[in-house]
Amino acid sequence: MTWLWSNISRIFEYLDQGGLVMEPLLLISVLMWVLIIKRGLYLRRMRVRNMPREMAAQLIQENQQPDFMEFRGATALVVSEFLKRREANPGVDRSTMDETVMAVASSFDKQLSVITVLASIAPLLGLLGTVLGMISTFDVISLHGTGNARAMAGGISEALISTQTGLLVAIPGLTMKNFLASRAQTLKHRVSSLGIFLGRRL
């Protein structure tokens, strides 16, 4: 318990040393990682427990919704969304299938742009903290000269900590965004291929 409180106090001390931008950086970091985890779990769910294409085609022919307790992947989602939109007209159904595939594929990219924006804002906030820290340092120099090293160190510490934190938030965030975008692109290819396969069966 003492170890826990010691680490918590160090975190608060670190945030305090970083200045005004640390709280927005912390908020951005938490929000960004919540979105990353949610998107990662969603894309993983789309990749696993997929039904075979032949079963998907059979469900469409029988106009029967898939069992989401057994199949949770992208194939089941395409079948379910298509059955909600179909009009029992083969010509119209092919267009409906294309629209369904586009809608499902676009859902894979949701929140990725928000993650990118949050990760891009973080180093800018860190840069703002650098500027504020250097302004504080120059204020000390203007009042006391270069003789008060302790007061100068506070401003320099604020500048460096805020910059460091901004980069620590941004680099993993952008890395995870690119990873999720790659997963989403793979799913888009699979869904497009599935749409062509099912379209031929209509």
Ramachandran quadrant class, 66 (left: phi over 0; alpha: psi -120 to 50; beta: rest): beta
| Torsional sign, CA 112, 118, 122, 128 | positive
The ranges assigned to domains in the chain are: 2-201
Q: Which three-class secondary structure state does DSSP give residue 68?
A: coil
Give the pLDDT score at 8.
65
Is the pLDDT confidence value at 6 over 80? no
- Whole-number Å distance between alpha carbons of 98 and 85: 11
Work out the average pLDDT over 44-54: 87
Classify burial at 88, counting beta carbons within 10 Å of its beta carbon; exposed 0-12, middle 13-18, buried 19 or more.
exposed
Confidence of residue 12 (pLDDT cuts 50, 70, 90): low
Nearest to 109 by CA among 194, 191, 27, 26: 191
Residue 43 has pLDDT above 80, yes or no: yes
Residues whose CB falls within 8 Å of the CB of residue 169, separated by 6 or more in sequence, listed in order: 25, 28, 29, 32, 119, 122, 123, 126
Mention every residue, 6+ apart, whose C-beta is less than 8 A from residue 118.
Answer: 28, 31, 32, 35, 173
Q: What is the largest CA-CA distance in the chain?
A: 85
Count of CA atoms in the C-beta half-sphere (13 A) of 73: 15
Whole-model pTM?
Answer: 0.84
Q: Write down the pLDDT at residue 50.
A: 83
Distance CA(181)–CA(170), nearest Å, equals 16
Q: What's the confidence (pLDDT) of residue 155?
A: 74
Query: Distance (Å, rounded) from C-alpha 153 to C-alpha 74?
Result: 55
Average the pLDDT over 44-59 and give the result: 88
Q: Is the pLDDT of residue 71 over 90?
A: no
Give me the pLDDT at residue 145, please. 67
Give the pLDDT band (50/70/90) at residue 174: very high
Average of per-residue pLDDT values in the chain = 86
Name the more confident of 34 and 144. Answer: 34
Neighbours of 142 (CB within 10 A): 8
Length of the chain: 202
pLDDT at 10: 72
What does the pLDDT look like over 117-158, one tens digit per residue? 999 999 999 999 888 888 887 777 777 766 666 766 777 777
